[in-house]
Amino acid sequence: MAIREILVVPSPVLKQVSETVRVVDDDLRALMDDMLETMYAAPGIGLAAIQVGVAKRVIVMDLARDGEEAQPRFFVNPEILWASEETAPYEEGCLSVPEIYDEVERPLQVKLKSLNYQGEEIVEDAEGLFAVCIQHEMDHLDGVLFIDHLSRLKREQAIKKVKKLVKAA
């Protein structure tokens, strides 16, 4: 396992649409292991493969709170089968947009289909933080960042702030 570099805005790679994974094999599991280690080191609760420069439809996530045992989750080719009409705002942040937080309105519940670490198909319902996080990460797979849901002014300010942070580092 290895910690990979997380790309930050305005990297053009983050705007790429990720490709469907054909097979869950040892190479893909190695990528998912690296992504999980990278996410934990950042620290974050979700990471899409494109954020480490790999344009594959893969997400890792762990919503365990501090002090709880790790609960790593893996989503390959995730697909939303249903989303509730009811929405709610949630303050989001992103490892690719460091130190920027803002509210994004998303469906409260979704039904999700994906492949797991072993390549088995899973269908499950998501609500609360799980629903927010999976939608946020799935946006990445389509080249969409959470700041793309904000006004143009807020988005431009966020990118400017991140550029300044990166320059100072």
pTM above 0.85, yes or no: yes
pLDDT-based confidence at residue 169 (cuts at 50, 70, 90): confident
* pLDDT score recorded for residue 96: 97
pLDDT tens, position by position, 90-126: 999 999 999 999 999 999 999 999 999 999 999 999 9
Looking at the annotation, which residues are catalytic? 137
Report the DSSP pairing between strands 58-61 and 97-107: unpaired
pLDDT tens, position by position, 124-159: 999 999 999 999 999 999 999 999 999 999 999 999
Return the domain boundaries, the chain: 12-168
- Give the C-alpha distances (Å, rounded to integers) separating 139 from 56, 57, 66, 68, 82: 13, 11, 26, 27, 15
In CATH terms, 12-168 corresponds, of 3.40.640.10, 3.30.1380.10, 3.30.470.20, 3.90.45.10, to 3.90.45.10
115 DSSP β-pair partners: 76, 121
In angstroms, the CA 12 to CA 28 distance is: 23
